[in-house]
Each structure stands twice: as structure tokens, then as C-alpha cells.
Amino acid sequence: MLLHETFMSYCRNRATPERPFRLGSTASRRGLLAATAALSLAGRGHAAPARPIVVGSKNDTEGTLLGNLISVALEGLGLSVERRLGLGPTLIVRSALLAGEIDLYPEYTGNVAFFSGTETDPGWKTAERAYDLASRLDAERRLVWLARAPANNTWLIAVRGEFARTHGLATMLDFAGAVRGGLIRLAASTEFVESPAALPSFEAAYGFSLPLSRIISLPGGDTAVTARAAAEGISGINAGMVYGTDGALAALDLTVMSDPRGAQIVYEPAPVIRAATLDRHPQIRGALDRIFVRLDADTLRRLNAAITVEGRTAAAVAAGWFAAQASHP
């Protein structure tokens, strides 16, 4: 395979628009003989170094954390790793995986609903079914989902801790009652407010309607902003859009409203790897499965907080957690 790939690279480098490479031509046959001879001589010397496994991630806190955890685990197997972490938003990283520019990266099960145009399938709202759907749909693209973390990083609503304790708010059912009582003022992104999968889904599931006059809508989706607005009561805000594993929730004394009716699509993280890469290195599955099954929501919130609240680097947090796990298998 290496001989073939190297030869084809030689041919592509030799070809030009005016002189395309055609295997059947006399010039091409001469090129074939020359290339084969050169590769045969090269093969008698040192073997070409193995191609590193390229690990990518999105440019958010948790994506970078998980990308570092994956990288540390692969290096622990003795594999050569190239880190391309913080590549960009979802579509950029996903495109890089499909194009073979990276070998694997951490993705969320629910995002496959939108990649595949199946977001209205109710299966996406239960953890096991969402994982099965993601695995099956991506298998058609020669992508493999390894074990998922039991941590749903979906859209949620958090309420200022003091307010939640005073009014007994713990679930979206409680939240709906507070909305009907005119007690809630929410900070959220425009997408959260307008997307049928977000706030409207909560409203339909729990039978409430939050007036736009009681919503501060922000153009970006930065939950650090919406969470802090809720925690500090900025402009009378007492609730904010958050993600399930945001690191600052405890530090800001926010109470996350649980979603007992499953209004939201489930977003559990897992490594997604090209099938060809996994075929070459099957030991990757076991190594990463052992890591991700231990990453529950509390663990991810704590690790994310070490980055966003304590100011530690994602690489240092990942290495420290991995070392601690290794000492307590």
C-alpha cells in the first residue's frame, strides 16, 4: 500500500494540465519503470516513518479538552500523534474528517441529526437511541463511533441559585410554573429562542410560553455570557441558556433545570474515527472506550471548570486527569 501511494504521489507530481498522467502511454511506462526502480532502492534503506494519527477538535473548551484526552491516550499506546485542536466550528471539523485531513475528533451524537436531516426523529431524544442512530448513519460514510460519555451536553436552562431555592425550582416543570407566574426573565442566544429544537421545544413539552418581552436575545451562542447574566441578575435576568456540561455552573451558583420529558435532542460526546484508521490501529477502540465511559456530566463540568474558572490549560487538565485514572484503573 505504501509503495502504491508513493508511486501515485510521484505520478501526480509529474503530471501537468498539458501533460496529464496516463498509465497506458509510453512516457508513463518509462515513468513507471523509473519510479519502481527508485522505490526499490529506497526500500533497501530506512523505512518511511509511519504517518501520525491526526486528532482534531472544535474550538470550544470541551472540544479542546476531549481532543487532548484522546491525544494523550493514543500517545500512551505508543502511537505518533499530530494534534490539530481548535480547528473551528462543527462543520469545519466534520468536513476535515470526511476529507481525511484528520483521523478522528470528539463529536456529539445529536449533531448527526442535523448532518443527516433527521432531526425530527424522536429517537434523537433518548441517549441510547441517539447513539445507535449516529453510529448507523455515519457507518455509511465509513466513520465509526466509539464509546460515548454518559454526559448530555444539550441545551438547558439554568436559574440563579438563590432564586431557585426560594421558589423550589429544580425541573422544567417547575420552571414552566414560574414562567406562568411572570417570574422569569431569560438570557439566551437568538438561535435558542428561534430554533424549533430549543426554547420552542421546551415550551411545547412543558406547556408554557415565555413572552419575547421577558427574553434578552443575544446574537452569539456563548453560554459564558448568558450564565453570568443569570448569576449576577443583570437587567433583572434570573435564568440563562446553558449547556449541560458547562464548567462554570457550580462556581456561579446556578441551578440547572432537569428535562424529565426529554424535550431536547441528546448530545453525548464520543470519538468519531475514520474506519480505515481504526482498521490500522484496532487498539484505539479499547483505549478510548475506557476513557469516555468515565466522563459523566459531573466529571466533565469539573474538568471544564478547571479550564474556564481556574485558568488551567486544556492540555494540562487532560494530562492530569489521565494520570489520575491510570493510577486507579
Residue-wise pLDDT tens digits, 166-189:
999 999 999 999 999 999 999 999
Q: Give the β-pairing of 239-243 and 155-160.
A: antiparallel
* Same domain flag for 140 and 280: yes
**DSSP assignment, residue 258?**
B
Please give the tally of structural domains in the chain.
Answer: 3
Residues in contact with 98: Cβ distance below 8 Å, sequence separation at least 6, in sequence order: 141, 143
- Quick check: is 45 in a domain? no
- Do 147 and 167 fall into the same domain? no
Domain extent, residue 241, equals 155-256
Q: Report the alpha-carbon distance of residue 263 to residue 195 in Å, rounded.
A: 13
Q: Looking at residue 222, which CATH number applies to its domain?
A: 3.40.190.120
| Cα–Cα dist 221/171, whole Å | 23
Whole-number average pLDDT of the chain: 87
Give the angle 64-66-68 at the CA atoms, nearest 5°.
70
All three cell numbers of 42, joined, read: 529506497
- Locate 8 and state its grid cell: 501515485
Q: What are phi and psi of 24, to 5 degrees?
A: -85, -10
Q: Which residues are 216's β-sheet partners?
A: 187
pLDDT at 205 over 80: yes
Residues 306 and 293 in one domain: yes
Percentage above 70 pLDDT, the chain: 85
Assess if residue 261 is contained within a domain: no
In a domain, 221, yes or no: yes
Size (the chain), residues? 329
Nearest CA among 55, 255, 295 for reference residue 153: 295
Q: Is the pLDDT of residue 137 over 50?
A: yes
279-296 per-position pLDDT tens digit: 999 999 999 999 999 999
Within this chain, do residues 236 and 279 fall inside the same structural domain, yes or no?
Answer: no
pTM score, whole prediction: 0.80
**Domain boundary residue, one of 194, 224, 256:** 256
Say if residue 143 is in the same domain as residue 286: yes
Domain assignment present for residue 63? The answer is yes
